[in-house]
Structure 1
Amino acid sequence: MPRPRTLLAALALAVAPLAHAGTVPVAVAANFAAPMQKIASAFEADTGHKAVLSMGATGKFYAQITHGAPFQVLLSADDATPARLEKEGRAVAHSRFTYAIGTLVLWSAQPGYVDPQGAVLRNGDFRHIALANPRLAPYGLAALQAMGQLGVTARLQPRFVQGENIAQTHQFVATGNAPLGFVALSQVMADGKITHGSAWQVPAELHQPIRQDAVLLTAGQGQAAAMALMQYLRSDKARAIIQAHGYRF
């Protein structure tokens, strides 16, 4: 049986990480909400640090950061925004990396509505099609690029219903306000399968890669919790969660 002093020393070592645990405010692209909630839980359990998550459109986060929002880490839906923040001195130089590559899908909550080839875009008789605002959300921009490559933009543009971000876009389709729309695969996938409805995974060659970069913002420089989260996102545990939600690396 360990001596009392030895036991006290062991207990002190065990709680040391928790004694220095911190909180990190994180701006999270809306498409990454589900996996990031799971990662945040695992991160807190493993490190004691707590990630406080705000979900939204990358473009809006950029505006908030430039106006002094106290985020310490940005998980963007693109790679351009973190690069721009670094260039402007609002993010720590050389801290950014690609944490996931997103997949765009055309999805309907109705089984059998979207065919596996996406032909519904050319011949479907629907009044509305949802997409995220392409000026704010990279998935919306990718949707526009894909429709352009398919030559259906002129036909479909009068039917566009735009969400402020990809979460709102998914809601439009899930509630039936739009019978189909372009969303992130991660929003409709669990355990490697489409959970319900019908979907067409848009071929990657139809749009620019959706490289999603993380960056340490200047407010997070030197902050233990922020730096720990940046490291944790590259861990095997985090990457397994990310892959399970339909992302690539």
Structure 2
Amino acid sequence: MAHNEAAEKSERFSAGSGGDEADAWRARLGWAFGLIADDPAEREAALAHLDGVRRDCRAALERCNELWHLTRPLGPEEQYQEPTFRRAREVYAQMSGRSLPGGLWVGGGGRGPRLPYALLFLEWEARFPREWTEHAKAWGAKQSLIRLMAVAGHDQPTRAKLIDLVEVVVQRAYRCKDREYVRVARAVDGEVLRHRLHAAAASDNPWARLHAGYILWLLDRPEVPNTRHVWRTWVAETSGRHRDFSGPR
């Protein structure tokens, strides 16, 4: 997806939320849509921006830690009112808000202005896993964002994006926290998703056959929990060609 197209989708996803709040998110993290651009040069520029912001965050955190030690003799109440230390904390918060994944947790729920940036972070990990791992690996953030997205009632553009993500993920060898996408599949279950999963399960890709087959099996059994035990039992009970893929999940 080109950067301009991604930015236009961000505008549509943010529609209906407070304009000022959406503008604030865009000012902090609008650059991040370059991370999922089709143009390698645009992605490279966005990665360089992210690396710079993360360096600033580390420097600001080091400054906070230094001042915390220096002001500790003041006592707990006076310490946090000390102007230099207070300003250092403000700078760190500002830097974190312009970075990933830290900036994703600056206010807002799963919907509204945060939604396009949460989806962006997940799409980045799904489409460009090497770059994501090198520049912003955060398995806990990935898990939290998937769970945040795994709810009913999304609008059509959001449902379409989540279905796309499930389709991408089932095509690859398992990555940490990919099993969480079962939650998303259950939240957006429907004809479109099942059609894509059936196609993946019938493909020549062994990972797609395995992962898509497992998700389809769970979609037909909403009462069954998505646990490691269930996964391993399912693999053991399916065709022997799956046995090589039954490692930890």
TM-score tier (shorter)? under 0.3
What TM-score, normalized to structure 2? Answer: 0.24
Greater share of helix? 2
More strand per residue: 1 or 2? 1
